[in-house]
Amino acid sequence: QQHFHRSRRHDPAAKLFKIKPFLFLASAAVGLLTGLNDCIYAYGVARLPVSTSSLIIASQLVFTAAFAYLLVKQKLTSHSVIAVILLTIGGAVLAFHTSGDRPKGENSKEYLVGFLMTLGAAVLYGFILPLMEL
């Protein structure tokens, strides 16, 4: 606040905030989307075994690559495609080599909701990362 008062002495038309309104609104929107993503992710992961959630979250790389291609026109080279494939396979291998199963007392509906929420979180985060670059 002292900086603002000093600026006002030299320039009476000085603004309190120097950020442009569009940039402020875009930053606020990304922040809200990130908060929503965190809530969806926490809800979904709480209802899934580690093996299933790690497999779903590994798919986030594919969504990030697809949205980067669509939103910011990122070129997909053979190296980046192979990297996404290998990292996704790594997540799948991790998921298959764990002994996790559906949590006790959880019905099929809760499991399906957890699965869809975690998948939604992977898709949303795959959208948020290129959106920040845009």
Residue 52 and residue 119 in contact, taking contact as beta carbons nearer than 8 Å: no
Amino acid at 51: S
Q: What is the pLDDT of residues 37-79, one digit of tens each?
A: 999 999 998 888 877 888 888 888 889 888 999 989 888 888 8
Residue 67 and residue 115 in contact, taking contact as beta carbons nearer than 8 Å: no
Q: What contacts 123, CB < 8 A, 6 or more positions away?
A: 60, 63
Give the Cα separation of 54 and 58 in Å (integer). 6
Residue 95's pLDDT band (boundaries 50, 70, 90)?
low
Mark out the alpha helices in 75-107 (DSSP H runs). Answer: 78-96
pTM (predicted TM-score): 0.72
Q: Where are the domains of the chain?
A: 21-133
